[in-house]
Chain A
Amino acid sequence: MRHFIFEENLFEKYRNIIPDFEAFLERITKPLGNYIRVNGLRIGKEKLVSLLTSRGLKCRSSFLADHFIEIPEGVQPGILLEYHLGLFHPQTLTSAIPVMALNVKENDLVLDMCAAPGGKTSHLAELMKNTGLIVANDKNVSRLISLRANLKRLGVLNTAVTMNRGEQYPLETSFPRILLDVPCSSEGRYLIGENGKVLYRGRIGKGLPQVQKQLMHRALKLLRPGGILVYSTCTYNPEENESVIQYALEKFEVKLEEINLDFPHELGLTEWEGRKYDDSIRKCWRIYPHRTNSVGFFVAKLVKKG
């Protein structure tokens, strides 16, 4: 058994909630899978595989095989002409789950409340076949630059971009579908180097759950009765996950729905550090890298009653 030291103990508090904890720690000492999402607006998967293979790129199938290809570790997509043609987008596999859980259809109206840099937005556009309208929002100019660049490159025609702090999003328009992928501590992206140090560290701050609840509050005010909101993070921290969902269940007339997708996951927690959560939170998904070869995620699907 590996002897973990120093910052690997960062995850020790999760020993009892992450299944097969030792395998989890082992897995995050190696790079996670390198994935690209086929841009179905421009090309089919088989054709893209053929093009990339002809360039000498080894392509492997993965989970979500209709939409994703695994490419060798360390390959920078920008070296390929096909990237610049918008035929694919480098994207973590698990970040597709919130988009697919939202279950968008052609001609829908969707708000992507924290949209930059646009991977999930462009995936929404693909599933909507560039029809309907997506309103892609983020809070400042620098984030909008990357968002608009990606939407342009990928040929996304059905998206308008707004710049608002999500917590203050204007209430004049309501939406039947909302994607709320919030800023978080990004523990799901952490990797442990050979010296035991964390190689990637996201936002740190005790204020995150408060911000996330404010975003959730605004999003649920914007959601139409009968509408669907998908909340997601790339962290394991229940304070940023189940606690925020509990807040939503207590403050609004919403209920959780099952996420009917075929993908490895664990159930949401009903208890953390002495605090109990609603039983229905078991319908939320916890996704771990040692099960999926991709970034850790939390996903919840809420429906507004009425």
Chain B
Amino acid sequence: MYERGKAYWAISDSSWIDTLGNLAVESAGIMILRKLDEGVKPTTVALQLLGNLITKNVVTLEFEELLDLIVHKTMKTKIGADEVSRGYVAIRVGEYVVGCAYYRKGELISQLPKSFSSIHPRASELL
């Protein structure tokens, strides 16, 4: 892992890493954490890669609830403060962690990528 600007990145460890010293590299590996005023926030892909290794502050949604969160950007949840802490939570659908939301007083605020808006609610009808 290495720090670059306002983020942390991860790249596979390799004996070839020193090779990069001879090249003008635009980026190496994947960004996994962003530095914010209030701390660090994992990126969507970092959460997806960590998946079931994440055991705390995880909220499981049904697929339809995920679509609701994508469309409306926020949703009420019955998850209580004893189950998750205020702050960033991982969103799980089925067995996959899909991304991140912000939990505050019974509400989830989407932090999912804008690209998720192309997920069609009735994909099976289109297929």
Residues of A within 8 A of B (CB): 55-58, 72, 75-76, 78-81, 84-86, 107, 109, 130-133, 135, 144, 148, 151-153, 155-164, 170, 172-173
Contacts and interface: CB of A to CB of B under 8 A. Distances in A.
A156 B30 CA distance: 7
Contacts of B113: 84
- Interface of chain B, helix or strand or loop or mixed? mixed
Interface of B: 10-12, 14-17, 19-20, 22-31, 45, 48-49, 63, 66, 93, 96, 98, 113, 115-116, 118-120, 123-127
Contacts of B27: 148, 160-161
A107 B19 CA distance: 13
Contacts of B49: 155
Nearest to B29: A157
- Interface of chain A, helix or strand or loop or mixed? loop
A109 B12 contact: no
Nearest to A82: B96
Contact of A132 (B10, B12, B22): B12
B44 to A, nearest CB: 9
Contacts, number: 107
Interface centre among B25, B26, B49, by most chain A C-beta atoms within 10 angstroms, is: B26
Given A56-B127, A79-B119, A133-B14, A85 B28 contact: no
Contacts of B11: 157-158, 160
Given A162-B25, A172-B23, 14 more contacts: A55-B127, A76-B118, A78-B119, A79-B123, A80-B119, A109-B19, A131-B14, A133-B14, A151-B30, A152-B31, A158-B11, A160-B20, A160-B29, A161-B27
Contacts of A86: 45, 48
B80 to A, nearest CB: 27
A278 B42 CA distance: 55
